[in-house]
Structure 1
Amino acid sequence: MAYLRVLARSVGFFTVTVGLYLGYLAGRGFLLLAGRDSITWRNAMVRRWAKSAAAIIRLDIEVEGMPPEPPFFMVCNHLSYLDVLPFFITTDCVFVAKSEVRSWPLLGRMAQDINVIFINRTLKRDIPRVNRLIEENISSRQGIIIFPEGTTTKGEKVKRFKSSLLQYAASRNFPVSYASITYATPGSEKSAEEWVCWWGDMTFLDHFFKMLTLPSIRAVVKFGSKKVSDNDRKVLARRLHRRVSDQFRPVVKGRQKIYE
């Protein structure tokens, strides 16, 4: 049964992803030839893809609070590559992601073409370039989402926030939104900590196919009720970390409760 589930979901995910990606490229090409902007088209197609992908892998999304409206700058804790799906569904956004994502089969190319901002976290000199792109991409039609922990975790707690990519918000005293995300799986044998969160030395493809064996996944996204601002990026990072930590539900301790 698990094998058939993985096969069906893999085929479905690949078919939907390729089909919508080609549709997006065709529409973007037409808009460029017509001299029109493609941001609204991209937002619509990305949302459609995220909803389809979530349905295929049986990702049930529960939203608490109100998602921010563009223009916004938002931070969130980071647990898995699945984190992008709830935010693509609920907001018009551009993510900042690690440069390794470019090498992922199909998804890497797709991410590049929908204007994901890539950062090489091993090179400090890449930070000014990314901060410039953050400034260029915040607009009345899209916001920016970053994961200031700098890596995915297994969901025990929220790691310390790095402040380097908060420079834009701090320098302009731009109010920053925040959210937290957590996951749960039905039953107790396959915990979200091991089967949904992506951490340690887990490889993408191995983890992806392992995750597809789950009958369903519950994601709970909680948007903060107030925005945070400060002209010191390090102080801003600490204040945001405290807000996210206060509302975060640990994956390891809470995987059963949110399924009830």
Structure 2
Amino acid sequence: MMAWLRFSVMAMGFVLTILVLVPLQYIFLKTGRGARKTTPVLFHQIVSRLLGFRIHMHGEMATGRPLLLAANHTSWTDIVILGSLREMVFIAKAQVASWPLFGMLAKLQRTVFIEREKRGKTHHQASEIAVRLAAGDAMVLFAEGTTSDGNRVLPFKTSLFGAAQVAIRETDVETVTVQPVAIAYTRVHGMPMGRVHRPIVAWPGDVPLGPSLIGLLKDGAVDVDVWFGEPMVIDGKSDRKALARTMEKRVRAMVRTSLIGRDLISTPAESGAEAILNDHKNR
């Protein structure tokens, strides 16, 4: 009974937030004026509270621009959580654009939509991301290419890391900062979540979005760690495949640190060239 009462109150808050902020953001985008970059942050801050997330941030988002954030991906809630922390723009699969409501919200947040399965469009899509990077947008790449079960980090796809190099080749920027970002869901109602209960938040692609949203509005009180790892500065000569492996390794270490409670993160400061060189040596 209490769960459904909570759901009713939170759902009403969610609807009111949409009714107030969505028209404002639409006007800001159409006119090119107003708080078009900060309104999505406010929206996500309100929604994250309604969903009951308690966010614990470790480290800081890099200040250098252009900035590409390489993150793991467990659930649609990753966007709410990251979007509530700083101004950033997400890279999403093309299907999201056609989703009811959430597709509209993604467009209003200036999301870049890509078709991962169409290899022939990779360069065009990388060019679009590169333009946004060069314009100063902090772009979030969910580098696994899909959602995981929240207990592990899947191998990172390398193709869209090339957007950082395209930005260097096709715009007037000389370097791009790439930063690993890890998201780990750790507790529910103060109790360790563990493998059994992580599906409360985890959202594999074949699970409908509606039940996931309803479940979180009913239950809430989920603790989540967000790690901003050691950034790398790359140039036009950097190897995107080595870059992807380095980002994957760092994200995996941060996620495991949250999930098993031991510090597995080594944080010696490395330049982009040094990190990639070390990655080649360790293969």
TM-score, normalised to structure 1's length? 0.86
Match of residue 20 from structure 1: 21
Q: Is it true that 1:48 corresponds to 2:42 in the alignment?
A: yes
Q: Is it true that 1:64 corresponds to 2:63 in the alignment?
A: no
Tell whether the 8 Å contact from 1:78 to 1:153 is kept in structure 2 after alignment.
yes
Q: How does 1:106-121 map to 2 (within 5 A)?
A: 106-121=101-116
Whole-angstrom CA distance in 2 between matches of 1:251 and 1:103? 34
How many residue pairs were aligned? Answer: 247
Structure 1 residue 140 displacement after superposition? 5.8
Match of residue 257 from structure 1: none
Match of residue 86 from structure 1: 81
**Structure 1 letter corresponding to 2:217:** L
Q: 1:129 aligns with which of 120, 124, 129?
A: 124
Would the alpha carbon gap of residues 238 and 189 (structure 1) be closer, same or farther in structure 2, given more than 3 Å must change?
Answer: closer
Tell whether the 8 Å contact from 1:20 to 1:45 is kept in structure 2 after alignment.
yes
Tell whether the 8 Å contact from 2:91 to 2:111 is kept in structure 1 after alignment.
yes
Q: Is it true that 1:197 corresponds to 2:191 in the alignment?
A: no
Q: 1:210 aligns with which of 202, 215, 225?
A: 215
76-85 or 169-178: which moved more?
169-178
Tell whether the 8 Å contact from 2:181 to 2:226 is kept in structure 1 after alignment.
yes
Would the alpha carbon gap of residues 140 and 132 (structure 1) be closer, same or farther in structure 2, given more than 3 Å must change?
Answer: closer
Whole-angstrom CA distance in 1 between matches of 2:252 and 2:193? 27
Q: 1:245 aligns with which of 246, 252, 258?
A: 252
Whole-angstrom CA distance in 2 between matches of 1:77 and 1:168? 18
Match of residue 176 from structure 2: 174
**Structure 1 letter corresponding to 2:242:** V
Q: Deviations for 1:30-70, whole angstroms, at most 9, x for unmatched residues?
A: xx3xxxx44x7221100110111111111111111011224
**Structure 2 letter corresponding to 1:154:** D
Instruction: Provide the secondary structure at the position in 2 that maps to 1:136.
Output: helix
Structure 1 residue 179 displacement after superposition? 1.1
Instruction: Provide the secondary structure at the position in 1 that maps to 2:40.
Output: helix
- Output the aligned Cα RMSD: 2.3
TM-score, normalised to structure 2's length? 0.79
Instruction: Provide the secondary structure at the position in 2 that maps to 1:248.
Output: helix
Whole-angstrom CA distance in 2 between matches of 1:98 and 1:179? 19
Tell whether the 8 Å contact from 1:77 to 1:147 is kept in structure 2 after alignment.
yes
206-215 or 176-185: which moved more?
206-215
Match of residue 226 from structure 1: 231
Instruction: Provide the secondary structure at the position in 1 that maps to 2:38.
Output: helix
Whole-angstrom CA distance in 1 between matches of 2:136 and 2:35? 11
Q: Deviations for 1:156-207, whole angstroms, at most 9, x for unmatched residues?
A: 2111100100112245453311110111312468955111011152111111
Instruction: Provide the secondary structure at the position in 1 that maps to 2:212.
Output: helix
Structure 1 residue 3 displacement after superposition? 1.4
Q: Is it true that 1:77 corresponds to 2:72 in the alignment?
A: yes
**Structure 2 letter corresponding to 1:55:** R
Q: Is it true that 1:138 corresponds to 2:133 in the alignment?
A: yes
Gaps of 5+ in 2: 169-174, 262-283
Whole-angstrom CA distance in 1 between matches of 2:231 and 2:110? 28
Whole-angstrom CA distance in 2 between matches of 1:250 and 1:13? 33
